[in-house]
Amino acid sequence: MKRPILCLVTDQKGFPSVAAAVRGGVDWVQLRDRSLDAGDLLAALEEVRSACDRAPVRWLVNRRVDVAWVGGADGVHLGFDGMIAKDARGLLGREALIGIACHAPEEVGAAERELSYVHLAPIHPPLSKPASRSPLGSGALERAAGFGVPILAQGGITAANARSCIEAGAAGVAVTGEILGAADPERAARALREALDGSMGSR
């Protein structure tokens, strides 16, 4: 069984905490900030990646396939209004991580087969922003996982509920508030990492 994925989703306010989160056990980092133009986002990718001192982390850029390609990122998280997954893969290659966000199991079932993963959200009420949708819960996560696309559970994920997400069939979790809102991001990431790793014998 593969180790569950711990993905940190961060805007520029969280960039200074990324290195600490990586030390705590984050596997993937997704840079998401629509206020940054392509040049600034590219510079941020290079700066944040450098601060992590070549740690074995996968780097993703939100929406900007061009920045992911020029910056040598590992993949892209596509927006609903952006490039389709097939075209993104044609540019970034077969090994690229390409994902989208879905808000219902049925959306996962209808998603393109070119995808590497899907964020399903919100599983629980979000910690980093006001809720705009009702939480889906573990039942929806189980149904979504049945479509065979790796699912990252997102929305209100904490060290206390991360294990239940894996038990429901998720391949990992995507987190913002639990890490970036913590006084000690490294410690918060480590608690999540331990919870996820503790789930490996339960599936």
Q: How far apart are the C-alpha atoms of 151 and 201, rounded to whole Å?
A: 19
Exposed (0-12), middle (13-18) or buried (19+): which is 181, by Cβ within 10 Å?
middle
174-202 pLDDT, tens digit per residue, is 999 999 999 999 999 999 999 999 977 65
Average pLDDT over the chain reads 94
Q: What percent of the chain has pLDDT over 90?
A: 87
pLDDT exceeds 60 at position 118? yes
Residues 99/109, Cβ–Cβ less than 8 Å: no
Q: What is the pLDDT of residues 131-155, one digit of tens each?
A: 678 899 999 999 999 999 999 999 9
What predicted TM-score, i.e. pTM, was given to this entire model? 0.94
Domains of the chain, each with CATH number or no CATH: 5-198 (3.20.20.70)
Instruction: Give the confidence band of 1 by pLDDT, cuts at 50, 70, 90.
Output: low
2-35 pLDDT, tens digit each: 899 999 999 999 999 999 999 999 999 999 999 9
Work out the widest C-alpha separation in the chain, in whole angstroms.
Answer: 44
Residue 152 identity (one-letter amino acid): L
